Structure 1
């Protein structure tokens, strides 16, 4: 090997080795790897967000994407639930739609996501600028690095992205949709262009995840939030191949740079029909929505994959005794081995604060009995 090869390897490791505080609570990472845990780890999708009054106070002063793009603000709202609750993980405050923004599309919050100029025909793909996209997302990496220091090793930090199909849907629909009819019509009328777009998004996501790992993310989650708009056959065509590529390409790239891979979570809302297929994609963790039975999920994925989920967010509005009973039942169904407690979808804005305490406390209490 040449001197320059060794220099490159050393330089790469120097660039990706930050002097972060030692991790005090590693139950999340241990559960993801299938190791024994002191207690079942619990965190909540969208745990830094609108249900917290302190987040609402920040939001009154700053535009949503300004918070995303300002590391100090992103870290502040990321820390808010960690200060309140005995959670076992933190997830960086950002949004899946920063990727379309990095590709050159305008995305606004009015109050939900709105694209003034969505993709209408395949010719519109020429407007997307993939070159340099990850450099335009540097603020996310900066926030991750800053957050690792602010956490002081209290809990692991999760990074995330939207999956290609989910991002494609937003980019074509121009925002949220109850049907994804326009995106699905692309699959029929512009199939080649659809796969070109999905491949482009996959490549950008791999770059984005590589950057997040180098910045300090300790686990990564892929949100296939729009899986419930497509059937099993379509899921096999437009979701599974691309989420598999994300995992495989990222793993290969990190190994080539002698960087330790981090555990990865695949969460496909509405993808319960394909759990065994998801389990074959190489992700350490499969996230479940609230329509999936824990016992059936375990049968589908086998014993070598960790499950995450899956309390219905609507249950968080129930009286304390009922919420505690449902959480207790959920945890006992999943068991302590290879399990991460979570909701089956993101926490909703009007969720009572006390419900979060009940959820977290119940998970930890029951886990001591298992």
Structure 2
């Protein structure tokens, strides 16, 4: 760690404590739109970068250095642990994760193994250790959630409708719950090893679980998520989760042993509070707005900040990840604006 004082605003916000200003970080802030990252990608694949701790630490730290964000999030992919349990996955440019041995039958679930993070993903843990020496802000690490990982494993890649996933869930419930248990075990081991290595917060991405209705979520998914959070909360770092189009599940998420619930842009901060969500909240500017002129961005950001500051426990973020077309200067200006605006009104 450098000589600069440690900025713990994100951690304090996670626990609902008073902060110097509203903390800011952005999902997919590392890479994507940064020219330095695009230059690296001309030579290295995502997996090659994540397997090189020094290179991965550099990419992870870039947005903190460039934007003055209040937290770093480890550069990796939710697919990172899957090869360790027997999933043949590639990340194909313009497509995303492609699974070469998709799950179609119960026997495919039975074949899945267990992860030993120290042996099978040591580069992730080494990167975390390296970053803890370099950063003056908290380091967030993450994992995909069982439903979202299962959706890729069953569909064979990204999906718009998750028909195969739901069909497997409905028609093969015993195999489905076995898959949830295996992925739940993997998540617990994977996340616990990252915390042991030095991760100071964890975010669970259940990106696509919004495809389920609330009744199905409660029966098919909520039990494994409850087990995951109850287990890893013993590690005593703040835990958060995020999903797209999942506003109808917020009350269920509020039941979990976590500190932060991330919102996409479809559900406002005020709506979440009216639903009875008592956790700290994170979000939720529509990332598309970042392509608009600055006066429009500012106009859209102010109401989010004002709603978020009605109670302690708010982290400013996007309602989904940064995409490649976003100008890095817009993110830098946005971070400065959030810090300045939330200082000016007496935080």
Query: TM-score, normalised to structure 2's length?
Result: 0.94
1:344 paired residue number: 319
Q: CA deviation at 1:23?
A: 5.9
CA–CA separation in structure 1 for the residues paired with 2:4 and 2:175: 46
Alpha-carbon spacing, 1:350–1:296, altered in 2? closer, same or farther (3 Å): same
Q: CA deviation at 1:275?
A: 1.3
2:308 paired residue number: 334
1:86 aligns with 2:60: no
CA–CA separation in structure 2 for the residues paired with 1:95 and 1:194: 23
Task: Choose 231-240 or 343-352, whichever is displaced more.
Answer: 231-240
CA–CA separation in structure 2 for the residues paired with 1:23 and 1:167: 38
1:115 paired residue number: 99
1:25 aligns with 2:25: no
CA–CA separation in structure 2 for the residues paired with 1:302 and 1:129: 37
Whether the aligned pair in 1 keeps the contact of 2:233 and 2:257 (CA below 8 Å) is no
2:242 paired residue number: 267
Give matches, 1:147-226, under 5 Å. Answer: 147-151=131-135, 154-226=136-208
CA–CA separation in structure 2 for the residues paired with 1:250 and 1:330: 30
Q: Which runs of 5+ in 1 are unaligned?
A: 1-18, 255-260
2:233 paired residue number: 251
Whether the aligned pair in 2 keeps the contact of 1:118 and 1:174 (CA below 8 Å) is yes
CA–CA separation in structure 1 for the residues paired with 2:80 and 2:179: 16
Whether the aligned pair in 2 keeps the contact of 1:114 and 1:175 (CA below 8 Å) is yes
Q: CA deviation at 1:170?
A: 0.6
Alpha-carbon spacing, 1:182–1:21, altered in 2? closer, same or farther (3 Å): farther
Superposition RMSD in Å: 1.7
1:132 paired residue number: 116
Q: 1:41 aligns with which of 13, 23, 26?
A: 23
CA–CA separation in structure 1 for the residues paired with 2:115 and 2:130: 26
Whether the aligned pair in 1 keeps the contact of 2:26 and 2:318 (CA below 8 Å) is yes
Q: CA deviation at 1:267?
A: 1.1
Q: CA deviation at 1:22?
A: 8.8
Question: Could you list the per-position Cα deviations for residues 61-111 of structure 1 after superposition, in whole angstroms to 9, with x for gaps in the alignment?
Answer: 111111112211111110111121110000011110112212121211221
CA–CA separation in structure 2 for the residues paired with 1:149 and 1:319: 38
CA–CA separation in structure 2 for the residues paired with 1:237 and 1:251: 22
CA–CA separation in structure 1 for the residues paired with 2:185 and 2:5: 31
Partner SS for 2:283: strand
Q: 2:264 aligns with which of 280, 289, 302?
A: 289
Q: CA deviation at 1:49?
A: 1.6
Partner SS for 1:97: coil
Whether the aligned pair in 1 keeps the contact of 2:115 and 2:189 (CA below 8 Å) is no
Whether the aligned pair in 2 keeps the contact of 1:120 and 1:172 (CA below 8 Å) is yes
Partner SS for 1:24: coil
CA–CA separation in structure 2 for the residues paired with 1:272 and 1:134: 36
Partner SS for 1:40: coil
